[in-house]
Amino acid sequence: MAGVSVDEAMRRAVTLAARGLGTTSPNPVVGCVLLDSDGTVVGEGFHAYAGGPHAEIVALAQAGERARGGTAVVTLEPCDHIGRTGPCSLALVQAGVARVVIAVPDPNPVASGGAATLRAAGIQVEFGVRAQEAEVGNIAWLTSMRRGWPYVIWKFAATLDGRSAAADGTSMWITSEAARIDVHALRGTVDAVLAGVGTVLADDPRLSARNLRDGTLAIRQPLRVVVDSSGRTPAAARVRDGAARTWIATAAEVGAGPDGRVDLPALLAELHRRGVRAALLEGGPRLAGAFLAAGLVDKVVGYVAPKLLGAGRTALVDAGVTTIADAIDLEITDVTQIGPDLRITALPRKREA
């Protein structure tokens, strides 16, 4: 890529950043493109895993001396602190770059300040190029850092008439194998998977991320969380197997809400403290209803099967809605056919206070 604009370079940096999705947590995904003074790409990098080199360091290593006098285009404000790696702001100063173009400022109070350090060293710093794309690419991490609790994705499977189980309680498998493979891929992108004790008692799920064909476990497993007010999860439940870490979150440990059940905001605050930035709420209907009623769901991913049941449990219970005017409005952002099923992705619209 020769003679590219800063805008094109940022588009490339956003694409690079996405390669780290699912492996960088509790760190953000970050992409960086280095241009020399003629606009020729001399280095590229992304943050691949927590503890590994940051995007800027990878790109600087590629560029070597050619970074001097050039422009660093980076999706997130370079960090300014010494964590598991040194501050990127200092590395950029030492490499002699003349200009740093950033999409989104770093909301993390521990790491922010990179722009100020760069400016103090006489480097020209600009913000906002392709900010919206970079924001979307890092939405779970940014949201979680800004407000102090994880980005919550509610995933469910239902028939076309909105049922999650038949009248006799059978629910495996509503959706196709292709849709279930997609769910396992989704599990691989989050830090925690949450289920209510009702689902554990009814279905005994493993909640691990696996290859469904041969059963092999994904290298990176999300923390499994059972929301279980009084500790009813059986000792032999599959969720307690050795495939991944498991936390049985009880009201005694987390705190109780007004109904005596696990206090959900306290649960999310504790998960954030444990490094969880993105959480997948896998049900069931009652726990999902409590999350939605409390306004704690950021994204909905529904797998809808071309089946009708006409009776049986609905996909959502007690979401705090009694009249149509109070329905939780969603904005659909994607519809994809997966095998015979539809995957519908939607964002809850913000409610008036």
Ligand X SMILES: NC(=O)c1ccc[n+]([C@@H]2O[C@H](COP(=O)([O-])OP(=O)(O)OC[C@H]3O[C@@H](n4cnc5c(N)ncnc54)[C@H](OP(=O)(O)O)[C@@H]3O)[C@@H](O)[C@H]2O)c1
Enumerate binding residues for ligand X (CB under 6 A).
Answer: 156-158, 164-165, 169, 171, 174, 195-199, 202-203, 227-230, 232, 257, 261-262, 264, 282-287, 290, 313, 315, 317
Give the nearer residue to ligand X in terms of CB position, either 46 or 156.
156
Give the nearer residue to ligand X in terms of CB position, either 129 or 315.
315
Give the nearest distance from C-beta 134 to ligand X in angstroms: 32
Angle (deg, nearest 10), helices 55-63 and 88-95: 20
How far is C-alpha 245 from the chain's CA centre?
Answer: 18
Give the nearest distance from C-beta 178 to ligand X in angstroms: 16
Give the nearest distance from C-beta 172 to ligand X in angstroms: 8
Give the nearest distance from C-beta 195 to ligand X in angstroms: 5
Q: Mention every residue, 6+ apart, whose C-beta is less than 8 A from residue 353.
A: none
Dist CA 146 CA 325 (whole Å): 30
Dist CA 258 CA 319 (whole Å): 16
Tokens of 229: 């007010």
Give the nearest distance from C-beta 294 to ligand X in angstroms: 8
Give the nearer residue to ligand X in terms of CB position, either 14 or 227.
227
CB 282 within 8 A of CB 192: no
CB 7 within 8 A of CB 39: no
> What backbone phi and psi angles, to 5 degrees, belong to 20?
-90, -5
Dist CA 55 CA 16 (whole Å): 9
Residue 216: burial class (beta carbons within 10 Å; 0-12, 13-18, 19+): exposed
Give the nearer residue to ligand X in terms of CB position, either 37 or 230.
230
Q: How many CA atoms lie within 13 A of 129 on its CB side?
A: 22
Give the active site residue among 56, 77, 270, 282: 56
Is residue 8 annotated as a catalytic residue, yes or no?
no
Give the nearer residue to ligand X in terms of CB position, either 242 or 258.
258
Q: So which residues are the catalytic ones?
A: 56
